[in-house]
Structure 1
Amino acid sequence: MCTAVHPKGTGHLLSDVRQLRRIQENAREREYTDEERRLIDGMTEGNHAPELQDDAPLPMLAVAQLYARDIPDLVGPEDHDLLQVFWCPFEVHGADRTIEVVLKWRPSADVGAVLTPQPEPPVAGRAECVPTMCVMHPEHVVEHEYLGLLDEELQEEIDEWEEGLLDEEDEVEPLSSASYATYEEYAEAMAVARAAEPPRRSTT
Protein backbone atom coordinates (compact mmCIF):
# COMPACT_ATOMS: atom_id res chain seq x y z
CA MET A 1 0.00 0.00 0.00
CA CYS A 2 1.11 3.56 -0.71
CA THR A 3 0.66 5.66 2.41
CA ALA A 4 2.35 8.83 1.11
CA VAL A 5 0.16 11.92 1.01
CA HIS A 6 -0.54 12.97 -2.59
CA PRO A 7 -3.53 13.26 -4.96
CA LYS A 8 -4.74 9.71 -5.59
CA GLY A 9 -8.03 10.05 -7.43
CA THR A 10 -6.95 12.23 -10.34
CA GLY A 11 -5.32 10.89 -13.48
CA HIS A 12 -6.11 8.10 -15.95
CA LEU A 13 -8.48 5.27 -15.17
CA LEU A 14 -6.63 1.96 -15.36
CA SER A 15 -9.59 0.48 -17.22
CA ASP A 16 -9.29 3.24 -19.86
CA VAL A 17 -5.54 2.69 -20.25
CA ARG A 18 -5.98 -1.05 -20.79
CA GLN A 19 -8.92 -0.62 -23.15
CA LEU A 20 -6.97 1.89 -25.24
CA ARG A 21 -4.07 -0.55 -25.54
CA ARG A 22 -6.46 -3.31 -26.65
CA ILE A 23 -7.96 -1.01 -29.27
CA GLN A 24 -4.51 0.01 -30.54
CA GLU A 25 -3.40 -3.63 -30.71
CA ASN A 26 -6.52 -4.71 -32.61
CA ALA A 27 -6.34 -1.72 -34.98
CA ARG A 28 -2.79 -2.30 -36.17
CA GLU A 29 -2.46 -1.67 -39.92
CA ARG A 30 -6.05 -0.42 -40.18
CA GLU A 31 -8.07 2.67 -39.36
CA TYR A 32 -10.03 2.96 -36.12
CA THR A 33 -13.72 2.15 -36.40
CA ASP A 34 -16.28 4.79 -35.41
CA GLU A 35 -17.00 2.85 -32.22
CA GLU A 36 -13.29 2.73 -31.34
CA ARG A 37 -12.94 6.47 -31.94
CA ARG A 38 -15.95 7.12 -29.72
CA LEU A 39 -14.40 5.04 -26.94
CA ILE A 40 -11.04 6.78 -27.28
CA ASP A 41 -12.66 10.23 -27.20
CA GLY A 42 -14.37 9.29 -23.95
CA MET A 43 -11.07 8.46 -22.25
CA THR A 44 -10.01 11.63 -20.50
CA GLU A 45 -7.71 12.46 -17.63
CA GLY A 46 -9.61 13.79 -14.65
CA ASN A 47 -10.77 13.38 -11.06
CA HIS A 48 -12.22 9.91 -11.55
CA ALA A 49 -12.12 8.86 -7.88
CA PRO A 50 -13.00 11.95 -5.84
CA GLU A 51 -13.77 9.80 -2.80
CA LEU A 52 -10.09 8.92 -2.45
CA GLN A 53 -8.48 11.19 0.11
CA ASP A 54 -4.86 12.26 -0.37
CA ASP A 55 -3.82 10.41 2.81
CA ALA A 56 -5.82 7.25 2.10
CA PRO A 57 -3.82 3.98 1.78
CA LEU A 58 -3.70 3.03 -1.89
CA PRO A 59 -2.94 -0.44 -3.30
CA MET A 60 0.21 -0.45 -5.38
CA LEU A 61 0.36 -1.90 -8.88
CA ALA A 62 1.94 -5.34 -9.26
CA VAL A 63 4.75 -4.84 -11.77
CA ALA A 64 6.85 -8.02 -11.81
CA GLN A 65 7.24 -11.41 -10.18
CA LEU A 66 10.72 -12.91 -10.53
CA TYR A 67 11.77 -16.40 -9.43
CA ALA A 68 15.39 -17.08 -8.47
CA ARG A 69 15.21 -20.38 -10.39
CA ASP A 70 14.80 -18.37 -13.62
CA ILE A 71 17.51 -15.79 -12.87
CA PRO A 72 20.74 -17.31 -11.47
CA ASP A 73 22.13 -13.95 -10.31
CA LEU A 74 18.96 -13.03 -8.42
CA VAL A 75 19.82 -13.71 -4.78
CA GLY A 76 17.61 -12.69 -1.89
CA PRO A 77 17.46 -13.40 1.82
CA GLU A 78 17.86 -17.01 2.95
CA ASP A 79 14.98 -19.25 1.82
CA HIS A 80 13.41 -16.35 -0.11
CA ASP A 81 13.37 -17.23 -3.81
CA LEU A 82 10.62 -14.96 -5.13
CA LEU A 83 10.96 -11.23 -5.72
CA GLN A 84 7.77 -9.23 -6.24
CA VAL A 85 7.96 -5.66 -7.52
CA PHE A 86 5.25 -3.08 -6.83
CA TRP A 87 4.95 0.62 -7.49
CA CYS A 88 2.62 3.52 -6.94
CA PRO A 89 1.80 4.89 -10.42
CA PHE A 90 1.99 8.56 -9.46
CA GLU A 91 5.16 10.53 -10.18
CA VAL A 92 5.00 12.60 -7.01
CA HIS A 93 7.28 10.76 -4.60
CA GLY A 94 10.45 12.18 -3.08
CA ALA A 95 12.67 15.00 -4.21
CA ASP A 96 12.87 13.54 -7.73
CA ARG A 97 9.06 13.47 -8.06
CA THR A 98 8.94 9.92 -9.36
CA ILE A 99 7.07 6.67 -8.73
CA GLU A 100 7.53 4.79 -5.44
CA VAL A 101 8.98 1.30 -5.97
CA VAL A 102 8.71 -1.46 -3.35
CA LEU A 103 10.57 -4.79 -3.51
CA LYS A 104 9.17 -7.74 -1.56
CA TRP A 105 11.10 -11.01 -1.11
CA ARG A 106 9.06 -14.09 -0.24
CA PRO A 107 9.47 -17.88 -0.15
CA SER A 108 7.65 -19.08 -3.26
CA ALA A 109 6.17 -21.95 -1.22
CA ASP A 110 4.19 -19.40 0.76
CA VAL A 111 2.43 -18.01 -2.32
CA GLY A 112 -1.19 -19.10 -2.39
CA ALA A 113 -4.03 -18.48 -4.77
CA VAL A 114 -4.01 -15.23 -6.71
CA LEU A 115 -6.46 -12.71 -5.32
CA THR A 116 -9.44 -12.08 -7.58
CA PRO A 117 -9.93 -9.28 -8.26
CA GLN A 118 -6.36 -8.22 -7.63
CA PRO A 119 -6.13 -5.09 -5.43
CA GLU A 120 -4.96 -2.09 -7.43
CA PRO A 121 -5.58 1.67 -7.58
CA PRO A 122 -8.39 2.79 -9.88
CA VAL A 123 -6.33 5.70 -11.24
CA ALA A 124 -2.75 6.21 -12.41
CA GLY A 125 -1.03 9.56 -12.60
CA ARG A 126 0.31 8.71 -16.06
CA ALA A 127 -0.77 6.02 -18.51
CA GLU A 128 2.88 5.05 -18.97
CA CYS A 129 2.98 3.98 -15.31
CA VAL A 130 0.49 1.15 -15.97
CA PRO A 131 2.38 -2.05 -16.85
CA THR A 132 1.20 -4.36 -19.61
CA MET A 133 0.97 -8.06 -18.79
CA CYS A 134 3.77 -10.00 -20.44
CA VAL A 135 6.23 -12.85 -19.92
CA MET A 136 9.92 -12.06 -19.55
CA HIS A 137 12.76 -14.31 -20.71
CA PRO A 138 15.83 -13.42 -18.61
CA GLU A 139 19.16 -13.59 -20.42
CA HIS A 140 22.61 -13.64 -18.85
CA VAL A 141 24.76 -10.90 -20.39
CA VAL A 142 28.47 -10.32 -19.85
CA GLU A 143 29.05 -6.60 -19.42
CA HIS A 144 32.64 -5.53 -20.00
CA GLU A 145 34.23 -2.65 -18.16
CA TYR A 146 34.62 0.77 -19.71
CA LEU A 147 38.03 1.01 -21.40
CA GLY A 148 39.16 3.85 -19.15
CA LEU A 149 38.73 1.65 -16.07
CA LEU A 150 41.21 -0.98 -17.30
CA ASP A 151 44.92 -0.88 -16.52
CA GLU A 152 47.11 0.94 -19.06
CA GLU A 153 48.82 -2.21 -20.39
CA LEU A 154 45.50 -3.85 -21.24
CA GLN A 155 44.25 -0.60 -22.82
CA GLU A 156 47.31 -0.56 -25.11
CA GLU A 157 46.76 -4.21 -26.10
CA ILE A 158 43.13 -3.47 -27.01
CA ASP A 159 44.15 -0.39 -29.02
CA GLU A 160 46.73 -2.46 -30.97
CA TRP A 161 44.18 -5.20 -31.62
CA GLU A 162 41.60 -2.70 -32.92
CA GLU A 163 44.19 -0.99 -35.12
CA GLY A 164 45.05 -4.39 -36.60
CA LEU A 165 41.41 -4.95 -37.48
CA LEU A 166 41.29 -1.56 -39.23
CA ASP A 167 44.47 -2.40 -41.17
CA GLU A 168 42.90 -5.64 -42.38
CA GLU A 169 39.82 -3.78 -43.58
CA ASP A 170 42.01 -1.28 -45.46
CA GLU A 171 43.71 -4.13 -47.32
CA VAL A 172 40.41 -5.20 -48.90
CA GLU A 173 40.00 -3.51 -52.28
CA PRO A 174 36.79 -1.50 -52.51
CA LEU A 175 34.16 -2.58 -55.00
CA SER A 176 34.12 -0.67 -58.23
CA SER A 177 31.43 1.93 -58.74
CA ALA A 178 30.24 0.23 -61.93
CA SER A 179 26.52 0.28 -62.60
CA TYR A 180 24.53 -2.88 -63.26
CA ALA A 181 21.61 -3.36 -65.59
CA THR A 182 19.88 -5.91 -63.37
CA TYR A 183 19.93 -7.02 -59.77
CA GLU A 184 21.21 -10.42 -60.90
CA GLU A 185 24.33 -8.77 -62.40
CA TYR A 186 24.89 -6.86 -59.15
CA ALA A 187 24.48 -10.02 -57.02
CA GLU A 188 26.91 -11.93 -59.23
CA ALA A 189 29.52 -9.14 -58.97
CA MET A 190 29.13 -9.08 -55.17
CA ALA A 191 29.62 -12.85 -54.98
CA VAL A 192 32.81 -12.63 -57.05
CA ALA A 193 34.13 -9.79 -54.87
CA ARG A 194 33.43 -11.71 -51.66
CA ALA A 195 35.16 -14.81 -53.00
CA ALA A 196 38.26 -12.71 -53.76
CA GLU A 197 38.52 -11.33 -50.19
CA PRO A 198 41.28 -12.88 -48.05
CA PRO A 199 40.00 -14.94 -45.09
CA ARG A 200 39.66 -12.90 -41.92
CA ARG A 201 41.90 -13.78 -38.99
CA SER A 202 39.97 -15.26 -36.07
CA THR A 203 39.75 -12.97 -33.04
CA THR A 204 38.61 -15.65 -30.60
Structure 2
Amino acid sequence: MVRAGLIGLEFYSPDTGKWKQAHMNARYVILQVLIEAGEDFVKVEKITGEDGKPDLRITLDRTKIISVGKPAISKFLRKLQVYKSTGDYEAGKEMYDFYSNVDNTTEPHFLRLRDVVMARKQPRKMFVQHNTTANGDSVEMKSYEPTATGLIESFIDRFPSNDIDDYLYSLWDKDRSYF
Protein backbone atom coordinates (compact mmCIF):
# COMPACT_ATOMS: atom_id res chain seq x y z
CA MET A 1 0.00 0.00 0.00
CA VAL A 2 2.91 2.34 0.72
CA ARG A 3 4.38 1.71 -2.73
CA ALA A 4 0.95 2.13 -4.33
CA GLY A 5 0.59 5.49 -2.57
CA LEU A 6 3.82 6.69 -4.13
CA ILE A 7 3.10 5.25 -7.58
CA GLY A 8 -0.38 6.77 -7.29
CA LEU A 9 1.18 10.21 -7.83
CA GLU A 10 0.80 9.37 -11.52
CA PHE A 11 -2.91 10.01 -11.05
CA TYR A 12 -2.46 13.44 -9.49
CA SER A 13 -2.74 16.47 -11.78
CA PRO A 14 -0.48 19.34 -10.71
CA ASP A 15 -2.25 21.61 -13.22
CA THR A 16 -5.62 21.27 -11.52
CA GLY A 17 -4.49 20.18 -8.05
CA LYS A 18 -6.91 17.25 -8.25
CA TRP A 19 -6.70 13.49 -8.13
CA LYS A 20 -7.91 11.58 -11.21
CA GLN A 21 -8.67 8.36 -9.31
CA ALA A 22 -10.17 8.14 -5.83
CA HIS A 23 -8.44 4.85 -4.97
CA MET A 24 -5.01 6.27 -5.81
CA ASN A 25 -5.83 9.32 -3.71
CA ALA A 26 -6.72 7.03 -0.79
CA ARG A 27 -3.46 5.09 -1.15
CA TYR A 28 -1.54 8.35 -1.10
CA VAL A 29 -3.42 9.39 2.04
CA ILE A 30 -2.42 6.11 3.72
CA LEU A 31 1.21 6.77 2.72
CA GLN A 32 0.99 10.26 4.25
CA VAL A 33 -0.51 8.90 7.49
CA LEU A 34 2.26 6.32 7.82
CA ILE A 35 4.99 8.87 7.14
CA GLU A 36 3.41 11.22 9.67
CA ALA A 37 3.57 8.41 12.26
CA GLY A 38 7.30 9.12 12.48
CA GLU A 39 9.87 6.94 14.21
CA ASP A 40 11.38 6.23 10.78
CA PHE A 41 8.57 3.76 10.14
CA VAL A 42 8.24 4.75 6.47
CA LYS A 43 10.84 6.71 4.55
CA VAL A 44 10.76 7.84 0.92
CA GLU A 45 14.01 9.06 -0.56
CA LYS A 46 15.25 10.13 -3.96
CA ILE A 47 18.22 8.10 -5.16
CA THR A 48 20.11 7.42 -8.36
CA GLY A 49 19.04 4.18 -10.01
CA GLU A 50 21.31 1.56 -11.48
CA ASP A 51 20.74 3.16 -14.88
CA GLY A 52 22.08 6.49 -13.59
CA LYS A 53 18.66 8.15 -13.67
CA PRO A 54 16.71 9.48 -10.67
CA ASP A 55 14.77 6.82 -8.80
CA LEU A 56 12.94 6.43 -5.51
CA ARG A 57 13.49 4.14 -2.55
CA ILE A 58 10.78 3.31 -0.05
CA THR A 59 11.84 1.92 3.30
CA LEU A 60 9.35 0.40 5.73
CA ASP A 61 10.57 -0.89 9.10
CA ARG A 62 8.63 -4.15 9.44
CA THR A 63 9.45 -4.37 13.14
CA LYS A 64 7.31 -1.25 13.70
CA ILE A 65 4.16 -2.35 11.84
CA ILE A 66 2.31 -3.24 15.06
CA SER A 67 3.82 -0.57 17.31
CA VAL A 68 3.75 2.42 14.92
CA GLY A 69 1.82 1.63 11.72
CA LYS A 70 -1.27 0.02 13.18
CA PRO A 71 -1.90 2.79 15.77
CA ALA A 72 -1.39 5.49 13.12
CA ILE A 73 -3.95 3.97 10.76
CA SER A 74 -6.28 3.25 13.67
CA LYS A 75 -6.16 6.88 14.85
CA PHE A 76 -6.76 8.16 11.31
CA LEU A 77 -9.71 5.84 10.68
CA ARG A 78 -11.21 6.61 14.09
CA LYS A 79 -11.14 10.36 13.36
CA LEU A 80 -12.58 9.78 9.89
CA GLN A 81 -15.35 7.60 11.34
CA VAL A 82 -16.24 10.22 13.96
CA TYR A 83 -16.58 12.84 11.23
CA LYS A 84 -18.75 10.50 9.17
CA SER A 85 -20.89 9.43 12.12
CA THR A 86 -21.53 12.97 13.30
CA GLY A 87 -22.06 14.28 9.77
CA ASP A 88 -19.23 16.78 10.16
CA TYR A 89 -18.49 17.04 6.47
CA GLU A 90 -16.36 20.19 6.77
CA ALA A 91 -13.98 18.72 9.38
CA GLY A 92 -13.74 15.39 7.54
CA LYS A 93 -13.02 17.10 4.24
CA GLU A 94 -10.44 19.37 5.84
CA MET A 95 -8.62 16.39 7.36
CA TYR A 96 -8.76 14.32 4.17
CA ASP A 97 -7.66 17.27 2.01
CA PHE A 98 -4.72 17.81 4.36
CA TYR A 99 -3.50 14.25 3.79
CA SER A 100 -4.32 14.41 0.06
CA ASN A 101 -2.24 17.53 -0.50
CA VAL A 102 0.68 17.07 -2.89
CA ASP A 103 3.26 19.85 -2.61
CA ASN A 104 6.92 20.66 -2.09
CA THR A 105 6.65 22.51 1.21
CA THR A 106 7.71 19.58 3.41
CA GLU A 107 9.86 16.49 3.09
CA PRO A 108 9.83 14.34 1.05
CA HIS A 109 8.61 16.97 -1.49
CA PHE A 110 6.06 14.78 -3.26
CA LEU A 111 5.49 17.16 -6.15
CA ARG A 112 9.15 16.73 -7.15
CA LEU A 113 8.95 12.99 -6.53
CA ARG A 114 6.00 12.85 -8.92
CA ASP A 115 8.38 13.81 -11.72
CA VAL A 116 10.46 10.70 -10.95
CA VAL A 117 7.32 8.55 -10.79
CA MET A 118 6.23 9.84 -14.20
CA ALA A 119 9.71 9.32 -15.71
CA ARG A 120 9.75 5.72 -14.41
CA LYS A 121 6.19 4.96 -15.48
CA GLN A 122 5.82 1.54 -17.12
CA PRO A 123 3.32 0.73 -19.86
CA ARG A 124 0.13 -0.72 -18.45
CA LYS A 125 0.16 -4.50 -18.35
CA MET A 126 -2.35 -6.25 -20.58
CA PHE A 127 -4.06 -9.50 -19.73
CA VAL A 128 -4.56 -11.47 -22.91
CA GLN A 129 -6.61 -14.61 -22.59
CA HIS A 130 -5.16 -17.89 -23.82
CA ASN A 131 -7.25 -20.11 -26.07
CA THR A 132 -7.64 -23.85 -25.80
CA THR A 133 -8.73 -26.20 -28.54
CA ALA A 134 -9.61 -29.87 -28.41
CA ASN A 135 -7.89 -31.99 -31.05
CA GLY A 136 -9.05 -35.55 -30.65
CA ASP A 137 -7.91 -36.76 -27.24
CA SER A 138 -5.58 -33.84 -26.61
CA VAL A 139 -6.14 -30.25 -25.62
CA GLU A 140 -3.83 -27.56 -26.95
CA MET A 141 -3.32 -24.14 -25.47
CA LYS A 142 -2.30 -21.16 -27.57
CA SER A 143 -0.74 -18.13 -25.88
CA TYR A 144 -0.51 -14.60 -27.20
CA GLU A 145 1.79 -11.63 -26.64
CA PRO A 146 0.50 -9.19 -23.99
CA THR A 147 -0.04 -6.44 -26.57
CA ALA A 148 -3.00 -4.93 -28.39
CA THR A 149 -2.16 -7.13 -31.37
CA GLY A 150 -2.13 -10.23 -29.14
CA LEU A 151 -5.49 -9.25 -27.69
CA ILE A 152 -7.01 -8.96 -31.17
CA GLU A 153 -5.46 -12.25 -32.31
CA SER A 154 -6.88 -14.01 -29.25
CA PHE A 155 -10.35 -12.63 -29.95
CA ILE A 156 -10.22 -13.56 -33.63
CA ASP A 157 -9.11 -17.12 -32.79
CA ARG A 158 -11.87 -17.44 -30.20
CA PHE A 159 -14.58 -16.06 -32.50
CA PRO A 160 -13.54 -16.86 -36.10
CA SER A 161 -17.04 -16.52 -37.53
CA ASN A 162 -18.16 -13.33 -39.26
CA ASP A 163 -21.53 -13.51 -37.52
CA ILE A 164 -20.02 -12.77 -34.10
CA ASP A 165 -22.95 -10.60 -33.05
CA ASP A 166 -25.41 -13.48 -33.36
CA TYR A 167 -23.09 -15.78 -31.44
CA LEU A 168 -22.52 -13.29 -28.60
CA TYR A 169 -26.27 -12.57 -28.45
CA SER A 170 -26.99 -16.29 -28.09
CA LEU A 171 -24.50 -16.52 -25.20
CA TRP A 172 -26.11 -13.53 -23.53
CA ASP A 173 -29.58 -14.96 -24.04
CA LYS A 174 -28.54 -18.30 -22.53
CA ASP A 175 -27.22 -16.57 -19.36
CA ARG A 176 -29.95 -13.90 -19.13
CA SER A 177 -31.95 -15.80 -16.51
CA TYR A 178 -29.06 -15.52 -14.05
CA PHE A 179 -28.99 -11.71 -14.09
Give the structure, 1 or 2, with the largest relative contact order (CA under 8 Å, sep 6 or more).
Answer: 1
Give the structure with the larger helix fraction: 2
Q: TM-score range by the shorter chain?
A: under 0.3
What's the TM-score, normalizing by structure 2?
0.22
